[in-house]
Structure 1
């Protein structure tokens, strides 16, 4: 769910694209095991990041977001909440779920299937990432600057 237009900050035009006045937000509740939420979340994030960052940065953000959303829906068997905040300093994406178990960064088996690679991607492509516990559950987050690190 996007923030209503009246609640969003104004955008100033100039240079390469738009200059974002802080912050712009994306907030979306993700239904339990509803994997249709993954492409919908990517589409909404793509809209939020239109004209943001150097080439390839928004695509990295989409990939990492889909990994966090997929992990929350597949490995927790509960609802989750996606929040993305775009500010002049960069992008922060957070997926909160209601299971306290922390995600594991596993070394994927090169001869195996593709499972277990999501957190390796987050660890290698994000400028920063982490896990923050909550009273019930946790948030897994990553940050990306507009410029390549």
Structure 2
């Protein structure tokens, strides 16, 4: 049996992994992001991208209530990298802008907004994707 890959319009593969909704999954997601960005020679974006995926996974774990989550790292174009976390809940994420008292948690989307060039949510019939985009240098 021969397996062939369908080329993407931008020529870049996507990276994705299905994970259990556990706090430990953030480490696996960070590794996936690091692998993708290193393959695309975008080393300068790795730290921000890993922080972003950590927050998106934490939100999916805390609020998603799904049996599984999916992390996707893709290049929708030569100049953008997209990090997305998919769950099966249609509830939109809410960015907290209050100080949240002395609580350490609850401001992850503020961090996502600060580290990414843009972010958003795509609703699907079966759930949602929360994503963040980072502007990158086209590969040589």
Matched, 1:39 2:17: no
The 5 A counterparts of 1:131-146 are: 131-146=121-136
Compare relative contact order (CA 8 Å, sep 6+) and give the higher one, 1 or 2: 2
Report what 2:79 is aligned to.
89
Query: Which runs of no fewer than 5 residues in structure 2 stay unpaired?
Result: none
Matched, 1:73 2:61: yes
Q: In angstroms, what is the RMSD of aligned CA positions?
A: 2.2
Give the TM-score of the pair, scaled to structure 1. Answer: 0.76
Distance 1:61 1:119 in 2: 13
Counterpart pick for 1:119 among 70, 84, 109 = 109
Matched, 1:48 2:36: yes
- What whole-Å deviation, never above 9, does each CA across 1:62-88 have from its counterpart, x for those lacking one? 100111011111211212111111352
Aligned residues: 129
Q: Contact 2:88/2:127 (CA < 8 Å) preserved in 1?
A: yes
Q: Contact 2:100/2:106 (CA < 8 Å) preserved in 1?
A: no
Change (3 A) 1:110 1:137: closer
Report what 1:26 is aligned to.
15
